[in-house]
Amino acid sequence: MRLRLILLCALPALLLAACAEKTPATAAPKPAAAAPASSGLALRAIGTEPGWVAEVGAGAQPKISLQLDYGQRKLEVPQATVIEESNGFAGDTHDGTAVSLTYKREQCSDGMSDRDYPASVVLQVGDQQYLGCAEFPSP
């Protein structure tokens, strides 16, 4: 009688265990992220409202590539000057528009992605000023 009672109590638990979905004891390892390719950039800055991107090449006279107004306007400074005392870069576009970009190493959030960047930036293109954040890609 006692054995029958034990089997009667154990049977529902065994049936539930047999129907349960099996999960692996350990999660499968995630594939390793690919190492970023060498960007050749000294600084990459972004800003919002209106959206813009500035990429500054590495070297003594870096190229500055700009995409302004959500990519609708593209400008390039072929050979900028590094301005170490103000942590920045300056030069002229092909049509003579003055461009300067200065950065300050401080935590910065772009306000849209909840991502933090290691620097804030001020981009000046002619008489238009843009504010944003920057990162320093690995060489």
Q: Kindly give the parts of the chain with pLDDT less than 70.
A: 1-39, 139
The pTM for the full model equals 0.70
pLDDT score, position 114: 81
Asked if 41 contacts 56 with a C-beta cutoff of 8 angstroms, the reply is yes
Can you give the pLDDT at residue 63? 97
What pLDDT is attached to residue 125? 98
For residue 16, what pLDDT is reported?
A: 42
Give me the pLDDT at residue 135, please.
Answer: 97
Residues with Cβ within 8 Å of residue 97, at least 6 apart in sequence: 75, 125, 126
